Structure 1
Amino acid sequence: MIRITFFLCLIGLLAAPNAKAASSNYPLEDAEVDLGDKASLYRGAQTFMDSCASCHGAKMIRFGRIGEDLGLTDEQLAVLMPDESTKPGDVIETNMPAEYAQETFGIVPPDLTLSARVHGADWMYTYLTTFYADPDALWGVNNAVFPGVGMPHVLAAEQGLLQPVYETEGEGEGAKRRLVGLDSPERPGTLSEEEFEQKMRDLTAFMVYMAEPAALLRAHYGPYVLAFLFIFTLVMYLLKKEYWRDIKH
């Protein structure tokens, strides 16, 4: 039974990347996530609360945990909280009623706590930066790595609306258009391209942290653990030499 369970888990792990990649062949950009940059994580947390939390929740992490992990002051933490009644022990919840979300979007927006862990940092960053104009889509936009996405581009004012570049495959009635790239927006956003990309890197970094807060502790203690293992290995090597010094082969 244990062997069967292990085998099924192994199949799931091997199949997961393939399933993720099957949604789109669009190349992923490097998110350049640095969990040691707490200023970046804090900026990402602000973006999440300002632009994401109105529709999406993150019910597996508490404000107090964010403040402790990022070393925030009470004033900095208060900036992230929706209102004065919010307490450090509260989780991130959306104010959008599920019935309204279902009626408006056709689906209740998912909880985003583990999204970065499910999709990966590069996928998340590329997703955030590749919304483009599509008049045939419900909200007038589509996404390069998530074709048919069912949400509007909430950051369009800051990025501008990218224009798609298509390549036609086949001829006649069987011809199909394939997205091969994205061009500059017809109307620039309020942020430059570099500023917007940095903002999305900050947001991605926060979502990566949020999906696994313990990663910060591992990154902090990692050098100490490696140093201990090096010293321990050296001591064991010298001890082995001392034990075997008088033994003749």
Structure 2
Amino acid sequence: MKGWRFAFSRRWLGYIAFAIVFAIACGGLSAWQLARSKEAAAANALLDANFNSQPVPLQQVLPTLTSFSRSQEWKRVTVTGTYVTDDELLVRNRPLNSTPGFEVLTPLRLADGSLFIVDRGWVPTGDRTDAPDTVPAAPGGQVTVIARLKPGEPRLDGRSGIGDQVATIELPDIRTRIGGDVYTAAYGLLDSQDPSPASAPTPTVTAAPTQDEGLHWSYMIQWIIFALIGFFGLGYALRTEYRKLNEDDPAEQARAAERERRKSQRARTDAEVEDDLLERWS
């Protein structure tokens, strides 16, 4: 086939169709990554707003013991009560900055008798790897706490509580262990408390966590590049096939001669010069 008629053959139409389908798929995946980036941006905006929000009374945010929405995560609440230190629990296997340790959960009894679980912070593993050496005591008497809301954690299969230790912050299980009317949908990460004790566990969170938006943008651009590479490869294959099928055409022969002339005029590399010298002296 002379000219470009070969491009309309069944074989080449199949290649063209494949390149188009591939580009459409890449475009869809690129759009999906863009949507993911927008979702991450919205989540970061909500997280930042909650993390830096003004504290509001706990009962205003959680009107019942089981009410909680993911949109309330990290929101700051204020609650007044008395720590029930006899029911304090330690959460095992909680590393902080690669150091093994425990998180300290202390129930706070409110005026209505309900119990709100407060994560007072982190303590390192002691000389005995199965327990901390010491746990700073919670303030006695009435205390006003500002905490950040976090959802309860799921049960870990095959791992259960031992003594005053639990494997995860599974609030219904904690309610069973300590009894009483416990908030079972959310607990609080301690932000501050009044009165403030002389010593306290190390805070586990000091800055707002974020989702990486840039990674989604990177993937979005990569999928666009893949689509362009597909079309570039198709164009290169079409051009190569055209030259092969039309090598007897005078116009194509003239173009081929011009390409060879330009190729011969380009600067020679050091490797080419060395090869030429070797051929002369061999």
Identify, as 1 or 2, the structure richer in helix: 1
TM-score of the aligned structures, taking structure 2 as reference length: 0.26
Say which one has the larger Rg. 2
TM-score of the aligned structures, taking structure 1 as reference length: 0.28
